[in-house]
């Protein structure tokens, strides 16, 4: 529940920012008739990503207990970890120029008199967030289903996603309609660190899969067995596994990859944030 809540909260905030920027710009230039084009682009992106995610999950579920499912899961873990890392740094770099970039692209589309251009812009912008969310969600579902493959656990993941989306929309409404202030720089910094914990967990899960396939036949020594205290298949163990990569019998390589990633990525992320704060003011709206 916690991983999907944070993922959908973060992605929901970013997607709502994009839509708000587009609508605000159209309102400023008295082009409210194009609101519909933005809405159509957003709806198309949402339907495509939702359909693609469900289709991918159903298709892979047919290969239960097969090596193909393990291959697909491993690739999903690695791609999700890479995207999680990349988007946190990308947001640091582009958050302050996002408004100008979207306004410029909107102006180009309107100048050409092509309503499809504006629809495509909103589709691409929101679709990117949706695609990332789909990959993250699939990775979390695959990782969690191994620890606690029960309908209740699946419902909790869904509840976390819904709550994250609802909270993100409530925050967006408060910011753009009620005049609330939010330090976006600090917001994305905090969530960035949290998401890197998820990425570390996914990398550890990928290592576990690769070792089970004997593709990484080294560092397989089990460091400890804490299943008697917190079993990885229990509700608490499953939450910790998805959230921070907890394993009740981790191998040497799993721990090395998990710790190395966190030390390197979080240190670089914090230093990058400090460097940016020296040259720019906190982003508020």
Q: What is the mean pLDDT of residues 61-68?
A: 77
Q: What is the mean pLDDT of residues 16-34?
A: 82
Q: Select the highest-mean-pLDDT range: 69-83, 104-118, 135-149, 238-252.
A: 69-83
Predicted pLDDT at 282:
44
Predicted pLDDT at 79:
92
Predicted pLDDT at 161:
83
> Is residue 95 within 8 Å of residue 281, measured between CB atoms?
no
Predicted pLDDT at 114:
65
- Model confidence at 177, pLDDT cuts 50, 70, 90, reads low
Q: Select the highest-mean-pLDDT range: 107-121, 140-154, 170-184, 194-208.
A: 194-208
CA-wise closest residue to 143 among 282, 284, 4, 285: 4
pTM equals 0.78
Q: Residue 63 pLDDT more than 90?
A: no
Cβ within 8 Å of residue 239, ≥6 positions away? 1, 2
């Amino acid at each position: 529940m916690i991983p999907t809540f944070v993922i959908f909260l973060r992605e929901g905030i970013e997607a709502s920012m994009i839509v708000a920027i587009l609508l605000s710009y159209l309102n400023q230039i008295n082009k409210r008739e194009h609101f519909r084009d933005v809405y159509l682009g957003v709806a198309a992106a949402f339907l495509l990503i939702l359909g693609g995610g469900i289709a991918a999950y159903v298709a892979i579920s047919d290969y239960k207990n097969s090596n193909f499912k393990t291959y697909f899961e491993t690739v999903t873990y690695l791609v999700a970890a890479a995207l999680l890392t990349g988007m946190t740094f990308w947001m640091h770099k582009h958050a302050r120029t996002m408004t100008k970039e979207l306004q410029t692209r909107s102006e180009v589309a309107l100048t050409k008199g092509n309503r499809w251009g504006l629809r495509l812009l909103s589709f691409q912008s929101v679709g990117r967030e949706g695609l990332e969310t789909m990959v993250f969600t699939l990775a979390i579902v695959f990782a969690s289903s191994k620890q606690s493959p029960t309908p209740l656990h699946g419902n909790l993941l869904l509840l976390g996603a819904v709550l994250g989306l609802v909270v993100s929309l409530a925050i967006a409404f408060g910011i753009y309609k009620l005049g609330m202030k939010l330090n976006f720089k600090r917001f994305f910094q905090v969530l960035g660190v949290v998401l890197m914990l998820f990425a570390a967990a996914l990398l550890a899960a990928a290592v576990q899969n690769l070792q089970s396939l004997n593709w990484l036949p080294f560092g397989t020594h089990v460091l400890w067995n804490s299943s008697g205290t917190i079993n990885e298949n229990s509700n608490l163990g499953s939450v910790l596994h998805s959230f921070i990569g907890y394993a009740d019998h981790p191998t040497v390589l799993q721990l090395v990859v998990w710790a190395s990633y966190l030390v390197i990525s979080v240190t670089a992320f914090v230093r990058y944030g400090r460097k940016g704060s020296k040259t720019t003011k906190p982003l508020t709206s």
